[in-house]
Structures are given as C-alpha cells and as structure tokens.
Amino acid sequence: MNPNIQTNKWEKVLSFFIRYKKILVFGGTGILIIVLLILFLDYSSKSSAAAASRLYDKAFFTLNSLGYVTNQAERLKIYQAQVNNMISLVQLYPNTVSAEKVRLFLGRAFYEDYFQTGKQESLNMSISYYSTALEKARADFYRALSLIGRAQCHEQQLKFDKAFEDYSIVATKLSKEGFAPIALIGMARCKEQLSDYQSAISYYQKLISEYPQSDWAKFARGKLYYYSEQSDIHGQSLPSTNVLQLMPQ
C-alpha cells in the first residue's frame, strides 16, 4: 500500500475529529449520561423492590404470628401498626410488586373493618385501594382480584350495576385466572338484587355448564332448585328448569 495514501487516510480522520470535536464530545457525553441514567434507574428499581419486599415480608410474618398473642388489646395494637407499615410501603415504593399485593390486602382489611364497624369511610378506602390496585396491576391475576374486591364493595353500596360490570370482566376477559365461577355467582346475585331473575337463572346455568365440578356449582344448583319450585317471583314468570340437569355429572 502506498504510504502516502495511508497518511492521507489518517489525516482525513484527524481532520474529521478536529472539525466535529465539539459535536462528538457533547454527543458522547450525552450517550454516557443516558447509559448512566439507565443503570441508575435499574439499580434504583431493584433497590426499591428489595426494600419493599423486606417490609412486606416483615409485616406479614408479624401478622401471621398474631395467633400467639393472647391479649386482645395488644393484638389489635400490633395489627394496626403493621397496617400502618403497609400503608407506608405503598407510599414509599408505589411501583413495586410488593405494593401491588399490599393494596389488595389493604382493600380487604378496610372491607372487613366496614363489616365490623359499619364505617362508610372504611368502605370508601377499600374501593380506593382496589381501584388503585386495578390501575397499577401488571398481571391479570391481580386485576381479577382487584375487580372482585371492588365489586363486593359496590354491592355493599347497593350499586349493583357497577358490581355487575366488574364481575363480568372477571368472568369473560379474565376467565383464565380461575375466578370466573365466583364472578358468575356475583353476576347472578346482582341480577337478583335488580329483580332480573331470568338473567340470574341464566348465569347460574352458565356456571353449572362451564364449571360443573367447582364448589360454586353446588351453590348454583341449590339456587336453581329453588327457582324450579317457583312459578313466578314478584309477578315475574320464571323459565322452567329441569331438575335432573342440576345434578352433577
């Protein structure tokens, strides 16, 4: 190779770097900053997930140990402290898997508190946690649990149309998550509360047809047997039901 050609080649490369050195320096710095930012966010995410997981495990270990506490007042004190810790977990690490699980737990905890105390505020808090859990959920399994929990809250508010909507999503779009039988029972129950008994019967029949071996199918058979003994309810004629079809196969 001609040495002059080789020299000219490197001179051109050097000339290119000299001419565009500012762009290259700033461009390289920008890329470096982006890479460092990605690494930092990844580290921060893993660090947050680990911290949230530790808080979650500690809280649930403590709650599972409450059976050993014989003093009722002390037990309630410990329980409330752990609930407060989990509320803090959600606030500190809102985008972690542990936070998803905690929202579901808190939704249920406030729902049960509503039954014990009758406080409407507790029911509203339950709906809030279930709604946020649904919004933040990254897996259909958690979405299904969130919808079922929220639907039960809507039933307590006598908002049966809203409850039916949540149940129907679980029974159709999220049926693979294993909660469809529960959702179909909920849908039938909502229709009963809305005095739409024919639709209620159809959902009980659907449950028996699609999930004949489930525990909920036993309940549905009992309901259909009851309806088979009625000619009408509140003046609403009912479709005939073959009792033999209600028997498990």
Instruction: Give the domain ranges of the chain.
Output: 51-138, 152-248
- Residue 201 to residue 138: CA distance in whole angstroms: 34
Supply the pLDDT for residue 57: 85
Q: For the domain 51-138, what is the CATH code?
A: 1.25.40
Query: For the CA atoms of 84, 86, 92, 94, what is the dihedral angle to 10 degrees?
Result: -130
pLDDT tens readout for residues 150-184: 999 999 999 999 999 999 999 999 999 999 999 99
pLDDT tens readout for residues 11-34: 655 565 555 555 545 555 544 434
Supply the pLDDT for residue 56: 84
Model-level pTM? Answer: 0.74
**Tally of CB atoms within 10 A around 46:** 10
Greatest extent of the chain over all pairs of C-alpha atoms, in Å: 106
Residues of the chain with pLDDT under 70: 1-46, 231-249
* CA dihedral sign of residues 9, 14, 20, 21: positive
